[in-house]
Amino acid sequence: MPLGGLTHSSRQRCLFLRRLKYLLLVASSATLAVAQPLLESVNAYYMLKVWEIEDGLPHFALTSLARTPDGYLWCGSFGGLGRFDGARFTVYTPENTPALGDPAVLRLCVDRQGVLWAGTRSWMARLERGRWETYRTAQGWPGDLVRSLVEHRDGQVLAATDTTIVRFDNGRFVEFPLPESLGEPSPLILVTTITGELWLKADQYLGRWETNSWVTVLGPEELRARPLRGIAPSREGGLWVADQQHIRMLLHDQWIKQLERPAGFEDDAVTLLEDQRGNLWSGGYSLGVVVFKRDGGLLRCTMADGLQNNSTTAVFEDKEGNIWVASNGGGLARLKPRVVRVFGDQAGLRQSVVNSVCEEQPGQMLVGTHGGGLVRLSQQRFGQAVVSLDSKLNASSWVLTVLRDHAGTIWAGTYNEGLFRIRGEEVYQVPFAEIGARIVVSLYEDSANRLWIGTVAGLAVREGGKITLQSATNGMPHMVVQSIVEDHKGVLWLCGPPVGLVQRVGERFERLALPRSGELGDLKTLCADRAGNLWIGTLNGNLVRLFEGIPFVYTAEHALPPNPIFSLVEDENGDLWAGTGEGIVRIRRASLEAVAAGKSLQLDCLVLDKTEGMRSAQCRDGFQPACWRSADGRLWFATLKGVATLDPKNVPSKTPPPRAWIEEVEVDGVPQLLSG
């Protein structure tokens, strides 16, 4: 029951019980030693970029951040106001914008009408529809340093200083009541929750505005020995409250969650932000940023991770999910979430060129490298390479293909040393004569648990413990078998140079000619989906669909990125993913169907490359499996710089292009005024 509906005595009793619970929570946390997760670098999950004075910032010391509906990011600083369009800064100072009055812009706020409010050391200014207005002492501004700016649920803007709260009403600022007891003097910080509640924090005070008065939640009695260090709204509708050692969530008058500030990051005054993913960012004024992940993990973002200064003054999230960090001395940092995560040398991989990848068991991947042997990836780290007793398979082997079969046996195809079978600690080299070549480039297990072995000279099959070469007697051509797949009808398909596409009908192999074969180039990879389609990726960047014997060719004319397609995999939603020479491409299933049916002219494609976290946009070609869907739905791709992985559920939709804004007009080199 909300406090506003209680009698005075009932309210006092609830406040007493809540304060008592807080004190008991503080006391219990002081006596319990809780093991904390290890702080990972934020770089594993975000890409960090920094802008400084030489990049156009108005000043090295920033104070606040805000974004207006037109997409501009605004940066308050001690040297003016910066407007950032993603490429360059436009700087506003008292010289070119007299409404600011002072170069020190301390706090920013954008209200629901899109108006930008800027509090300076001198007065308040606001920007509405390109026009600046100022509010000075004559308009009720108290003249003190503004510490916080918020918009209340009634649409009124409130500002707080060290000693005063004012609200904007009918063109001027008027005084707003203060609590009876704030404890020792300290900056007043106002916050509104997503439910519209107005809260006030001082070092020794926490209270909520209710029915024309402040209701004290915590006062000097509870906070004198443990002052508050930060406050921010929670996405659940409550409030995050930081003290010297903890950050707690208050929801419906209950302390429902407690986070322990990690060693080395305690006591610092913090600016808090809960992002749209449910992670809590805590930016310390002296010690850098800590991220409390929703899953319980901890991330660290300090100068050791790329920040130019650990003094954090503001943390802000934009609509795209990027986190912006303003600092006192280190400029502006953007942390863009990695859509693609790469495990390479930083995870202990000796040879970063990855040829093949598959899942050994949930949470553990097998990775074949180009000169670093066969290694396991478990708990985000690579283990030692698998080594045979005779060292034919070793930490320098070129492992071109790797597969775990239904019985748990691991098979590794190599360059020049043929095929290895791995059962526990036992490593057995299959005689070259049984597979017909020393170079194995592809492995595939069909629905009958037969292991198909593709080499540079043809194909072999292991069935019932025996390996049999496929030869010209059953129609098998001499070819490099780069890809093998079984369709929904049990038909086996192969592709590779110089033959192209081959299918196994009964016990015989037959070549199949595709339309426009001269335009397709070499066939590089095959994928059979759950809907009965056979997908074929080509060197020339075309994608072929074969359904019920009828081919359809997707090309650049259908907005397919014109890059060689080296690997293909279907995700749990039926979308097709391609490992290409220029990144990983998602192709929406609905658009594939629509184009083939003549209902659309363009595919819905999204390209993920270095801008989304890949270290190399070049996916591996010529070997299978070069991509994999693991049991948890994640996709894995072999690349020239590590194994790349992504969760299709976390890949954003295509971002619509930004609106075009005309900022400058020149006629014969002469700037023109923009009006009308």
Half-sphere exposure at residue 390, Cβ-oriented, CA atoms within 13 angstroms = 6
Least confident of 12-16, 599-603, 667-671: 12-16
The residue out of 337, 365, 397 marking a domain boundary is 337
Q: Provide the terminal-to-terminal Cα distance of the chain, rounded to the nearest Å.
A: 53
3-state secondary structure of 21: helix
3-state secondary structure 247-310: EEEEECCEEEEEEECCCCCCCCCEEEEECCCCCEEEEECCCEEEEECCCCCEEEECHHHCCCCC
The percent of residues above 70 in pLDDT, for the chain, comes to 93
Local confidence band at 59 (pLDDT 50, 70, 90 cut-offs): very high
Residues 319 and 366 reside in one and the same domain: no
Residues 324 and 182 reside in one and the same domain: yes
Least confident of 24-28, 235-239, 314-318, 367-371: 24-28
Is there a domain that residue 595 lies in? Answer: yes
Over residues 623-637, the mean pLDDT reads 98
| Residue 74 burial by Cβ neighbours in a 10 Å radius (0-12, 13-18, 19+) | buried
pLDDT at 101 over 90: no
403 Cβ neighbours under 8 A, 6+ residues apart: 358, 410, 411, 443, 444, 445, 451, 625
pLDDT of res. 33: 40
For residues 429 and 420, is the Cβ–Cβ distance under 8 A? yes
Neighbours of 2 (CB within 10 A): 11
pLDDT of res. 182: 86
pLDDT of res. 75: 97
Local confidence band at 230 (pLDDT 50, 70, 90 cut-offs): very high
Residues 408 and 508 reside in one and the same domain: yes
Residues 281 and 403 reside in one and the same domain: no
For residues 359 and 628, is the Cβ–Cβ distance under 8 A? yes
Is there a domain that residue 668 lies in? Answer: no
Give the whole-angstrom CA distance, residue 120 versus residue 141: 11
Helix and strand numbers, DSSP H then E, in the chain:
5, 59
Is there a domain that residue 495 lies in? Answer: yes
Residues 359 and 281 reside in one and the same domain: no
Residues 178 and 154 reside in one and the same domain: yes
Q: Is the dihedral of CA 542, 546, 551, 557 positive or negative?
A: negative
How far from the centroid of its chain's Cα atoms is residue 446's Cα?
35
Local confidence band at 664 (pLDDT 50, 70, 90 cut-offs): confident
The residue out of 296, 322, 337 marking a domain boundary is 337
Residues 367 and 478 reside in one and the same domain: yes
Number of domains in the chain: 2
pLDDT tens digit string along 332-378?
999 999 999 999 999 999 999 999 999 999 999 999 999 999 999 99
Give the whole-angstrom CA distance, residue 558 versus residue 572: 24
> Between the CA of residue 453 and those of 253, 307, 404, 459, what are the distances in Å?
65, 50, 13, 6
Residues 115 and 193 reside in one and the same domain: yes
Over residues 486-505, the mean pLDDT reads 95
The residue out of 291, 314, 337 marking a domain boundary is 337
Is there a domain that residue 225 lies in? Answer: yes
Residue 93 belongs to domain with CATH number = 2.130.10.10
Residues 470 and 617 reside in one and the same domain: yes
Query: Residue 40 corresponds to which tokens in the numbers above?
Result: 């990972």
pLDDT tens digit string along 142-196?
988 899 999 998 899 999 999 999 999 999 999 999 998 887 888 999 999 999 9
Please tell me which of 19-28, 96-105, 624-633 the model is most confident about, judged by mean pLDDT. Answer: 624-633
Over residues 21-30, the mean pLDDT reads 51
pLDDT tens digit string along 376-431?
999 999 999 999 999 999 999 999 999 999 999 999 999 999 999 999 999 999 99
pLDDT tens digit string along 109-138?
999 999 999 999 889 999 999 899 999 999
- Entry field: residues in the chain: 676
Higher pLDDT, 23 or 343: 343
Over residues 637-666, the mean pLDDT reads 84
Across 584-618, b (16+ Cβ under 10 Å) vs e yields bbbbbbebbebbbeeebeebbbbbbbeebbbbbbb
Residues 307 and 376 reside in one and the same domain: no
Is there a domain that residue 670 lies in? Answer: no
Is there a domain that residue 117 lies in? Answer: yes
Domain residues for the domain of 126 are 7-337
Name the β-bridge partners of 49.
Answer: 334
Residues 124 and 201 reside in one and the same domain: yes
Q: Does 625 sit behind a cis peptide bond, omega within 30 degrees of 0 on the bond before it?
A: yes
Local confidence band at 34 (pLDDT 50, 70, 90 cut-offs): very low
Give the whole-angstrom CA distance, residue 226 versus residue 215: 20
**Which among 228, 265, 234, 262 has a CA at the least distance from the CA of 249?**
234
Residues 282 and 382 reside in one and the same domain: no
Is there a domain that residue 603 lies in? Answer: yes
Is there a domain that residue 140 lies in? Answer: yes
Task: Tell me the pTM.
Answer: 0.86
